[in-house]
Amino acid sequence: MRMDRPAIVAGRAKIEGRITVPAGIKKDSIFVTVTIPHPITGEHVSQKAFVDQSGNFSIDFDVETDTSFIGLYSSVNPYKTLIIKSINKNTTIINIDYNTNLDIKNMDVKPTMNQSDMNQGLEILGKMVAYRPDRAPKPLYDKSPDEFLNYAKSIMSERLALFLNKDTLLSKEFKGAVSKEFRLFMYITHVFDYERQMMHNYRNTTGHKTDTPDIQKIDASYFRFLKDFNLNDPQYLHTFTFSEFQNAILQNKVLKLPTIEESDISTWLAGVKAVLSDLVGFDEGPYYDILVANAFARQLNEELKPLSEKQKENIAHYWGNGEIPKILFRKNQQTVELAKVKSPTVVNDITSVPEDKVMEAIVSKYQDKVVCIDLWATWCAPCLEAINQFRRTKGEFKDKDVVFVYLTNGSSPQQLWEEKIKGIGGEHYYLTKTQWNFMMDYFGFEGIPSYLLYNKDGVLKNKFTAFPGNDAVKEIINSLLK
């Protein structure tokens, strides 16, 4: 498969096809979900469509590049995600035939793609991320940051050699994309937050779970590893993790890049380049335009705060009638609509309440209301994805007797938590470690996101882990409102 060099465009694309299943499976409950990376507005957008009685489906969606690689799975086998190419102003057609084991028996796609790329790319990525060598972890907490960076680089190389480089089925071009995706993910997860990683290393190598070692402080020069990424390469626009990588740069406490707010874009960029240019290895190129767009998008996504008139003027003045302004203004209009139905953000403090009384204290505050409780964390990607998916549906309950409550704990850095809840709205609680652990044990939750739904009488009616989708949650809430 040839990997096109993507160009930025405020576009629209479509995917349609047919799902064929063995006899006995009800077609009216089958749906298809697509996830589209939006590298300019810094998010992933998921949409789904139910198939009809003939198994046909169709989904239209916004794109931000002329060619995009989207994730697609069906409810027949939600654990198998395919990578499908979409093209601006075009329709991608995919027909999937499942066997009795609900595995894919046959698949046909137009425009044609290497089926190993479609089928195996994410699996190999997952194997590289999950790989754990049969050796004791190396103590790094008492070494220099340079030694840690060299070690991290060697780990990346080892996993790429073991899995991706040895594969003979993926196309050469797709291997390049998977390699980029893997490195972006691993650096975000294991390298950006040096102090957290060293604490983790200390506990893993010494067995000490409560002690705090003396960890060396880092400065901006630590991030010189960014030069290895060649971030001006437009192929990053084809990856899912690039937006998260950019966000990690924009909000990093060591780099201390300023928020863009109503700054003149050229002036803002001059300050940003003073910090980044030596680290990334260049001071000009499309990367900086994307970073500016991502800086505006953080406001739209994180705070659900529309652009001010001054910001609109700055954007139009800097880019004219280009594609990036079209994308930002399109996103802004969506934010305007969502902001209309967002409830105010309320922070509640119950840290002094005994752990076995926390839920009683929360639910009793919202008498005669249906209470929908979401246990989440700022680091939990499925949690954030669920919150984003549910935004519009949640707005439908704005004037009804239902309250949305969000619980997290110290695993979510408080400053980051305070930023994220601005765009979520609703009632928020920052629990102590003891309160959180009691809650998880008491309700039998083993992971997040997890949910508790109480009726108007304060009686628990539903509890589950993993977001089941907008329609399912909407149906539960409506049944409790009756």
* Total Cβ atoms within 10 A of residue 165: 11
Considering just the CA atoms, what is the radius of gyration of the chain in Å? Answer: 23
pLDDT digits (tens, 9 = 90+) for 395-427: 899 889 999 999 999 988 888 899 889 989 999
pLDDT range class, residue 342, cuts 50, 70, 90: confident
Task: Answer whether 343's CB lies under 8 Å from 426's CB.
Answer: yes
User: pLDDT tier at 24 (50, 70, 90 boundaries)?
Assistant: confident
> Which of 376, 378, 353, 377 lies closest to 364 in space, CA to CA?
353
The pLDDT of residue 381 is above 90:
no
| CB neighbours of residue 4 within 10 Å | 15
Per-residue pLDDT, averaged over 33-58, amounts to 94
**3: pLDDT confidence band, cut at 50, 70 and 90?**
low
Identify any residues that bridge with 18 across adjacent strands, giving them in sequence order.
56, 95
* Average confidence (pLDDT) over 351-356: 94
Please report the pLDDT score of residue 1 as a whole number: 47
Q: What is the pTM of this model?
A: 0.89
Q: What is the torsional sign of CA 153, 159, 161, 164?
A: negative
The average pLDDT across 317-338 equals 96
pLDDT band at 428 (very low <50, low <70, confident <90, very high): very high
pLDDT tens per residue, range 169-208: 999 989 999 999 999 999 999 999 999 899 999 999 998 8
* Reported confidence tier of residue 392, pLDDT bands at 50, 70, 90: confident
Mean of the per-residue pLDDT values for the chain? 93
Q: Note the pLDDT of residue 359.
A: 93
% of the chain beyond a pLDDT of 70:
99
CA distance readout (Å), 464 to 141, 240, 244, 440, 467: 38, 28, 27, 12, 8
The domains located in the chain, with CATH, are: 8-113 (2.60.40.1120), 129-340 (no CATH), 345-481 (3.40.30.10)
